[in-house]
Structure 1
Amino acid sequence: MKRTIIGLFCLFFTSQLFAQRSLPEYDFRLGLTAHPTIGWIKPETGKTNSVALGFSYGLLADFNFAENYAFATGLTITTINGKSTEVNVKPYYDGSGSQIAYDLKYKLQYIEIPLTLKLKTDKIGEVKWYGQFGLSNGFNIGAKQNASESGSGSKVIIENKGISKQTNFYRAGLILGVGGEFDVSGNTSITTGLTLNNGFTDIASDSDRKVRNHYIGLNFGVFF
């Protein structure tokens, strides 16, 4: 009986030791990010004028559910700026019947909560490379605009005018990203890369026109 008990104990201890060595540990990681964005506006009727710089900062979170796979999310404050030329834009257009083109600069700020899948490689040298794909969820918390009549003798109409009533609250986008993660010490690592955030919902509440905004993020973050 004594030998049986000792044998069962040894078997249990061996199985626990084997499980600890064999099963990978998956964890939750939290980090901080602060990086510039390069944004542009794409109207359905009109044209994109130029890109404009913005900024994004906040929290990053990776839920590692398998050895090289993670559910990546976060909470960031993101500014998406851009310039466009559009025709008959409310509330500047008076409905006179003639076509009037306006040069617009959008300055929009969102709380963003991405829901993405991150696919990681094994460590190659000192770097773990990754690809990222998923959905961006943005909630507008600030919207301003500069507007002027388009043309050589353009007339300035407004500067830094609040346009929250003319801007849809929710913005969805498709996220495509690539980058690398570098170990620093212990659990601390630095991540850097590029992300394309391709907006696919209309940002203008005016039913007479459709406008979308997009940006590229020059990502930089630190995981702890």
Structure 2
Amino acid sequence: MKKIIFSLLILTSIGSLAQVKLGLKLAPVITANRAKNDAQTIENDGSKMKFSVGLIADKSFSETYFLSTGLIYLPKHAAFRSADNTVEEEYKLQYLQIPLGLKLFTNEIAPDVRPYIQIGSGLEIKVFDEPEDPSYVTIEEFTPVDVPVILGAGIEYRAGINTTLFGGFSYQRGLINTVNEAAAGFEDLQIRNTVLSIDLGVKF
């Protein structure tokens, strides 16, 4: 917790020194995964709704180009089952995400309203993992980091001189296998995360 607070303070200091627009984001997310093994006997096992929250920071290069980053708490899950349904397991995962990307704005489509698209990546640091059931033994250790591709779009509305509201959606596709070590017979198990996010927030 101290590290999280320290990181937030650093971002706040950067915002004041470099005239970065700071904001808060709350995002309902649908988290799923892409599970497989070499023998193709492992399948995905559904998705879950969770909530993500964090601090964002947008640095302007021009009226239409912004560098976007932040510090986001992002919960996920890893769920899989065997094709014959003899194995069915689910694990809770929690990450701190440091996104880095570009926001590209169009001209105003209405007074104080501008659409944007976002493209980027980031670093996700795992801070927690836990099986839903203590009897689950397939995944012994998860990979400590993940790197996603992030694509998004949305709309910003300038509600005042220093206040901007935004809403949009993003698609995040994890590139790294989150399984670092698995039990005998599952050494080739691979799980990569997928997140669909509804991004809502305010910038000051």
TM value normalised by structure 2 = 0.79
- What amino acid sits opposite 1:157 in the alignment? S
Q: How many residues align?
A: 176
Runs of 4+ in 1 over 3 A off after TM superposition: none
Q: Which residue of 2 aligns with 1:85?
A: 81
How far 1:157 moved relative to its partner?
A: 3.0
Contact 1:39 1:213 in 2 (8 A): yes
1:33 to 15, 25, 28: 25
For 1:189 and 1:196, locate their aligned partners in 2 and report how far apart those are by CA, in whole Å: 22
Shift of the alpha carbon at 1:102?
1.5
Distance 1:86 1:212 in 2: 16
In 2, the alpha carbon distance for the partners of 1:130 and 1:58 equals 20
Structure 2 alignment gaps of length 5 or more: 1-17, 182-186
What is the CA-CA distance between 1:202 and the residue it aligns to? 0.6
Contact 1:113 1:136 in 2 (8 A): yes
Deviations 1:108-160 (A, max 9, x none): 1000000101100111104210000011210000111235xxxxxxxx934xx
Residue equivalent to 1:197: 172
Q: Are 1:48 and 2:24 an aligned pair?
A: no
Instruction: Choose 1 or 2 for highest CA Rg.
Output: 1
State the percentage of identical aligned residues: 28
Whether contact under 8 Å (2:78, 2:191) holds in the other structure is no
Provide the residue aligned with 2:199 in structure 1: 219
Q: 1:75 aligns with which of 71, 78, 82?
A: 71
- Match of 1:117, as an amino acid? L
SS in 2 for 1:187: coil
Q: Which residue of structure 2 aligns with residue 104 of structure 1?
A: 89
Q: Contact (CA 8 Å) 1:29, 1:62: kept in 2 or not? A: yes
State whether residues 30 and 195 of structure 2, in contact with CA within 8 Å, keep that contact through their aligned partners in structure 1: yes
Matches for 1:8-19 after TM superposition, within 5 Å = none
How many Å apart are 1:106 and its aligned residue?
2.4
Residue 86 of structure 1 and its aligned partner are, at CA, apart by 4.2
What secondary structure is seen at the aligned counterpart in 1 of 2:179? coil
Deviations 1:70-108 (A, max 9, x none): 000000111012532148xxxxxxxxxxx9842121211
Does the alignment pair 1:178 with 2:153?
yes
Distance 1:86 1:135, change over 3 A: farther
CA contact 2:167–2:201 (8 Å) conserved in 1: yes
TM-score, normalised to structure 1's length? 0.73
Tell whether the 8 Å contact from 1:175 to 1:196 is kept in structure 2 after alignment: yes
